[in-house]
């Protein structure tokens, strides 16, 4: 299995976000812990209140049930936001069709051919089924779509969802994915630095929110991530 | 035959083709690349799964040079 190689090159786009720490194993673990703490801060008060109310007066159990529902819904909403990064919209195709006079599907077919050339056989098949490109990396297995990326961390238990896209609005979906793929291959840490984190959490929670085809792509990414050795704490240079 | 292509709204456009033995075609491709870089495109050579490098000059031995637009957090 190939993996993203380390190198001196950095994405030029990083000049736009000089305040961000360059992504490393340490920052990924920190982001994951922060997300867990944030989720706990949103849910534990509901759980505690529901328990306290039930202890004080059993008549408040229905109210406690509503609070428990809130405690369940909040992380689900976060996961739903993460799942949105895999959405493939038809809008860029329609825009391309308007600009070129060519059917959007024709531009997409051309773009798909190029993306297919960039992917290996298995990744190409997975993309045909799901619209998502699977790319192994040092930080885990990446799933790339036209407007975002999912990083399945080594071991497959934790995912990070990123909103990231090419700034050109009139590209067919496969070209948008190819942009992300090339940027990721150029500089994985820079790619993760540039992208906006929209969800970090357990894989099962995200899986439930994905469409069927994206879910099968996630399963494949999890299988790949299980084969990736986690980097050590001192292995952050890239 | 090497190619310089640009990912754009048509899927992609071929801007230049060259062979290492043909100096004229290589010069034309290098000029086309410089022009695109000045317009804000980034040139990338994919080197297989997991590897790509950005270039500022035309790599004569590369079979494919791809021009891409900047990306940003959404």
Smallest Cβ distance to B71: which of A5, A174, A180?
A180
Contacts of A81 in chain B (CB under 8 A): none
Separation of alpha carbons A222 and A234, rounded Å: 24
Q: At what angle do helices A25-56 and A61-83 cross, to 10 degrees?
A: 160
Contacts of A167 in chain B (CB under 8 A): 69-72
Contacts of A182 in chain B (CB under 8 A): 44, 46, 52, 66, 68
Contacts of A171 in chain B (CB under 8 A): 7-9, 69
Query: Min CA distance, B34 vs chain A (Å)?
Result: 17
- Contact between residue A26 and residue B71 where contact means Cβ atoms under 8 Å apart: no
Chain B from 26 to 65: CB within 8 A of any A CB:
42, 44, 46-54, 64
Q: Is the pLDDT of residue A86 over 90?
A: no
- Contacting residues for A52 by C-beta, under 8 A, at least 6 apart: none
The torsion angles phi and psi of A52, rounded to 5 degrees, stand at -65, -40
Pairing of strands B64-68, B2-6: parallel
| Subunit contact B72:A167, Cβ cutoff 8 A | yes
Query: Min CA distance, A146 vs chain B (Å)?
Result: 11
| Subunit contact A182:B68, Cβ cutoff 8 A | yes
**Could you tell me the pTM of the whole model?**
0.88
Separation of alpha carbons A86 and B8, rounded Å: 22
Per-residue pLDDT tens over the stretch A163-188: 999 988 889 999 999 999 999 999 99
Would residue B74 count as lying in a domain?
no
- Contact between residue A65 and residue A44 where contact means Cβ atoms under 8 Å apart: no
DSSP letters, chain B, are -EEEEE--TTS-EEEEEE-TT-HHHHHHHHHHHHHHHHTT-EEEEE-STT-EEEESS--TT-SEEEEE--EEE-
CA A72 to chain centre: 22
- What residue ranges of chain B have pLDDT lower than 70? none
Separation of alpha carbons A214 and A145, rounded Å: 10
Domain ranges, residue B64: 2-68
What number is the ipTM of this complex? 0.94
The length of chain B is: 74
Percent of chain A whose pLDDT exceeds 90: 76
Average pLDDT score over chain A = 87
Query: What is the rounded average pLDDT of the residues A123-141?
Result: 94
- Contact between residue A141 and residue A1 where contact means Cβ atoms under 8 Å apart: no
Q: What is the pLDDT of residue A102?
A: 52
Query: Min CA distance, B14 vs chain A (Å)?
Result: 12
Per-residue pLDDT tens over the stretch A5-41: 444 578 999 999 999 999 999 999 999 999 999 999 9
Q: What is the pLDDT of residue A5?
A: 46
**Tokens matching residue A180:** 């992300």
Q: What is the pLDDT of residue A123?
A: 93
Q: Count of domains in chain B?
A: 1
Chain A residue at shortest CA distance from B10: A107
Separation of alpha carbons A215 and A126, rounded Å: 11
Q: What is the pLDDT of residue A87?
A: 80
Residue B13 near chain A (CB below 8 Å)? no
Would residue B73 count as lying in a domain?
no
């Amino acid at each position: 299995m190939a993996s993203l190689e380390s190198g001196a090159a950095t994405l030029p786009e990083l000049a736009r976000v000089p305040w961000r720490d360059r992504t490393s194993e340490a920052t990924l673990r920190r982001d994951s812990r922060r997300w867990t703490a944030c989720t706990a801060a949103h849910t534990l008060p509901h759980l505690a209140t529901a328990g306290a109310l039930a202890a004080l007066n059993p008549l408040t159990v229905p109210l406690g049930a509503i609070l428990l529902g809130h405690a369940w819904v909040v992380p689900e909403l976060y996961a739903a936001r993460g799942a949105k990064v895999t959405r493939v919209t038809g809008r860029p195709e329609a825009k391309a069709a308007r600009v070129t006079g060519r059917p959007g599907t024709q531009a997409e077919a051309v773009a798909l051919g190029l993306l297919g050339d960039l992917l290996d056989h298995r990744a190409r098949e997975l993309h045909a089924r799901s619209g998502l490109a699977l790319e192994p990396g040092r930080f885990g297995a990446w799933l790339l779509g036209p407007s975002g990326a999912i990083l399945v961390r080594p071991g497959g238990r934790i995912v990070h969802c990123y909103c990231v896209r090419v700034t050109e609005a009139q590209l067919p979906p496969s070209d948008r994915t190819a942009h992300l793929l090339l940027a990721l291959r150029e500089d994985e840490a820079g790619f993760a630095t540039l992208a906006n984190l929209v969800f970090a959490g357990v894989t099962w929670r995200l899986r439930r929110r994905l469409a069927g085809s994206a879910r099968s792509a996630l399963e494949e990414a999890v299988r790949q991530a299980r084969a990736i050795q986690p980097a050590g704490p001192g292995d952050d240079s890239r | 035959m090497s190619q310089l292509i640009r990912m754009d709204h048509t899927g992609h456009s071929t801007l230049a083709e060259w062979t290492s033995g043909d100096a004229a075609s290589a010069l034309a491709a290098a000029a086309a690349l410089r022009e695109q870089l000045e317009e804000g495109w980034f040139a990338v050579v994919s080197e297989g799964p997991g590897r790509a490098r950005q270039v500022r000059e035309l790599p004569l031995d590369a079979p494919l040079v791809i021009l891409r637009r900047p990306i940003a957090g959404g």
